[in-house]
Structure 1
Amino acid sequence: MTRGGREKDQDDPERKCIVTGESQPKAGLIRFCLDPEGVVTPDILGRLPGRGFYVSADRAAIEKAAKKGLFARAARQPVKVPEGMADLVEDLLVRRVVDLISMARKASGAVMGYEKVKDWLVKGRAVTLLQASDGSERGKTKLHPPEGKSGFIGVLTAGELGLAFGRERAIHAALAAGGLRTRVVEEAARLAGLREQIGEQDGGETAMKDT
């Protein structure tokens, strides 16, 4: 398993992390490159031009790269590193995961709300259960993730999960099988490496409902 929480795939191209020196699949790493002004820029989609360098999808690794001058060493030139680089990467990954879930919803591959999610689970249509990290533990335990690989995602808050469905908040959601689901799982795994263990919190009774 990669440091970002993703299982290794033998067919996935590998790159070396500039912090750990370990090679691992690109999907478990964050690509960085330099803009024309020499500013280190996260390339979440891996599409920006120029030479890229990679860091494990791990908050501590990114913070170390920023503090120890490892970006400059990898780039072989002086660089400018924005303050709060790990927070910036986390925000970009949140946006990416939310956008992908929203795309799945528009393609009829995702639903939210306790009853709809429960129905998908009972009928076997749901292959991944999503639950808000700040939702009530008592409420969340009423639904059980599907068996198999990547059956559960719990890295988004209720507000973030709600954004994907055009709602104020969402506690329960589910994804059907398909390419978008695979991409959500991969990006959520990277996000998990940047996030604190907020999933251990209990949001209380008010966090139990989707609104």
Structure 2
Amino acid sequence: MSDPQRRCIATGQILEKGALLRFAVSPDGRLVHDVGMNLPGRGMWVSCDVEAVELAIKKRLFAKAAKQAVDVPADLVTEIERSLTRQCLALLGLGRKGGQVTVGFAKVEKALKSGKAALLVAASDGAADGRQKLKRIAGPLPEIDIFSGAELSQALGRENVIHASLANGALKRKILAAVSRLSQFRGRSGLNTEVSE
């Protein structure tokens, strides 16, 4: 089943909601990035990339779409990237609490070999040899490599997290979708294989 579609106010393209960012206007007239896509009020949709957001700001398209004066934060682009990053890391944290995340080289290696891992997570600043060894074992499994060891450690409530894996299930799909949006916004791929669900 495909996502409902919305029109980007900056490019005019009609895209699935998953490829767009949703914005709402707070009661005090401030523009808010609705990362969870669930804030009340009429949503405004912009393609999930920096250029589209900057175009919407430059041409005052948020105010036009909202049909009212809108206070656009000066650091909106940074704020969007931060909230998308927080969303990804919060989902990983949820996986840890639900017992779906395995942490540590030896445990991840074991999870991969036993077929219990469906997604590999590697710290962007981790040593290349360890990452490559696990990637070889993982084969075609998707790998997320856009978070630092410090970010992963904080999200997973452990020290020095470099390697982690996630079991299969709905949470894996949510994490892949969230990482894909963040990577798209940053203009790079954060997944080392195509995401096909």
Instruction: Pick the TM interval, shorter chain.
Output: 0.7 to 0.9
Hey, what does 1:175 align to over in structure 2?
166
Hey, what does 1:111 align to over in structure 2?
102
CA deviations 1:7-39 (Å, max 9, x no partner) are xxx521111111221111112211001011211
Hey, what does 2:140 align to over in structure 1?
147
Hey, what does 2:36 align to over in structure 1?
45
> Could you state the TM-score of these two structures normalised by the residue count of structure 1?
0.82
Higher relative contact order (CA 8 A, sep 6+): 1
2:16 is equivalent to residue 58 of structure 1 = no
> Could you state the TM-score of these two structures normalised by the residue count of structure 2?
0.87
2:75 is equivalent to residue 84 of structure 1 = yes
Hey, what does 1:3 align to over in structure 2?
none
2:5 maps to amino acid: E
Hey, what does 1:30 align to over in structure 2?
21
Hey, what does 2:194 align to over in structure 1?
none
Hey, what does 1:19 align to over in structure 2?
10
8 Å Cα contact 1:15/1:25 also seen in 2:
yes
1:79 maps to amino acid: V
Which 5+ residue runs of structure 2 have no aligned equivalent? 191-197
The RMSD of aligned alpha carbons is 1.9
Percent of paired sites with the same residue: 39
Q: 1:36 to 1:101 in 2, by over 3 A?
A: same
1:182 maps to amino acid: R
Q: CA deviation at 1:117?
A: 0.9
CA deviations 1:132-187 (Å, max 9, x no partner) are 22223333212114425xx1212222111111211243221111111111111111
Q: CA deviation at 1:198?
A: 9.8
Which 5+ residue runs of structure 1 have no aligned equivalent? 1-9, 200-211
In 2: Cα distance, 1:65 partner to 1:110 partner: 38
8 Å Cα contact 2:31/2:72 also seen in 1:
yes
Q: 1:170 to 1:63 in 2, by over 3 A?
A: farther
In 2: Cα distance, 1:16 partner to 1:34 partner: 18
2:182 to 186, 191, 200: 191
In 2: Cα distance, 1:37 partner to 1:50 partner: 13
8 Å Cα contact 2:102/2:166 also seen in 1:
yes
2:53 maps to amino acid: I
